[in-house]
Amino acid sequence: MLIPFASWPEIDARIKTNKAIVVPIGSNEQHGPTGLLGTDWLCPEIIAHAAERRDESLTVAPTFNIGMAQHHLAFAGTISLRPSTFMAAITDWVSSLSRHGFERIYFLNGHGGNVATIEATFAEIYAEWSFVEEAPPFVLKLKNWWDLPGVNALCNAIFPTGHGMHATPSEIAVTQAAYPDRIKTADYAPKIAPSGPIRDALDYRARFPDGRIGSDPGQASPEKGQQIIDAAVPALLKDVAAFAAEVLPGR
Ligand code: NI
């Protein structure tokens, strides 16, 4: 069930039998000269929606499509939340979902730059309950889509060189598989982009002039993207099922 395409009575009924929900979460940020700005929210959305098509008992929230991308702000089109805004927004999403009875909230993330802030948000949320010596009525989980079992290994096997850290051929391929009429091409110079630390936006633009870090997205293809999606979908279904079935001690 995709929440944006469901009615409230359908969601009401769903919560009675299945209290787990997947929230695709990412970022709208530059992805090199050919990558779509939506890459980091499109990838988890593509995988979660494909999983829902495979198994309708999976409940998927609207995609949280703006994240923490301050370091990409020197490139046009990037939209970023500062960490504190991002934390406040995630907290309100969790409160809204929890209010209606979702008890297992699984964030499927597509942007490495979100990880620290999402983890800090989980700690903030849990702290509210820990201070009053009560158990929260929900548990939270963060999983990067590339960390789903088997996916990273597959990406490294498909792209043994030039995978890199940003605008990777894996993520570009996943978007190409889902949106083949949006594929863009460019002459990459150098073929494999430089690597280095991530700091502020001007430093980033100076170090990584076309936006890529360590990657050669020219290796991407829709076929390779489909291979990655086909590996990620069953891995996601299995991981969410295990999270939903997890026994919570003391409750
Ligand atoms: Ni990305």
- CA dihedral (209, 211, 215, 220) in degrees, to 10, reads -130
With respect to residue 117, please indicate whether it lies within any of the assigned structural domains: yes
Cα-to-centroid distance, 66 and ligand 1 (Å): 12
Cα-to-centroid distance, 70 and ligand 1 (Å): 14
Cα-to-centroid distance, 41 and ligand 1 (Å): 8
For residue 68, give the CATH number of its domain: 3.40.50.10310
With respect to residue 146, please indicate whether it lies within any of the assigned structural domains: yes
Instruction: Provide the CB-side half-sphere exposure for 21 (13 A, CA).
Output: 26
| Both structure tokens of 248 | 């919570």
Cα-to-centroid distance, 1 and ligand 1 (Å): 26
Beta strand pairing status for 139-144 and 104-109? Answer: parallel
CA dist., res. 15 & res. 12, Å (int)? 5
Cα-to-centroid distance, 113 and ligand 1 (Å): 9
- Report the number of distinct structural domains present in the chain: 1
Cα-to-centroid distance, 245 and ligand 1 (Å): 30
Residue 69 domain boundaries = 3-245
With respect to residue 81, please indicate whether it lies within any of the assigned structural domains: yes
Cα-to-centroid distance, 24 and ligand 1 (Å): 14
Say what the pTM is.
Answer: 0.98
- What pLDDT is stored for residue 250 in this prediction? 79
With respect to residue 88, please indicate whether it lies within any of the assigned structural domains: yes
Cα-to-centroid distance, 248 and ligand 1 (Å): 33
Q: Residue 109 forms beta bridges with which residues? A: 25, 144
DSSP helix/strand/coil, 59: coil
Under-50 pLDDT residues of the chain = none
With respect to residue 251, please indicate whether it lies within any of the assigned structural domains: no
DSSP helix/strand/coil, 25: strand
Cα-to-centroid distance, 40 and ligand 1 (Å): 5
Cα-to-centroid distance, 168 and ligand 1 (Å): 7
With respect to residue 37, please indicate whether it lies within any of the assigned structural domains: yes
Cα-to-centroid distance, 29 and ligand 1 (Å): 8
Cα-to-centroid distance, 110 and ligand 1 (Å): 6
Buried b (16+ CB within 10 A) or exposed e, 150-159: ebbebbeebb
Cα-to-centroid distance, 10 and ligand 1 (Å): 34
Ligand 1 ion: residues within 5 Å (CB):
39-40, 171
DSSP helix/strand/coil, 108: strand
With respect to residue 228, please indicate whether it lies within any of the assigned structural domains: yes
Cα-to-centroid distance, 35 and ligand 1 (Å): 9
With respect to residue 150, please indicate whether it lies within any of the assigned structural domains: yes
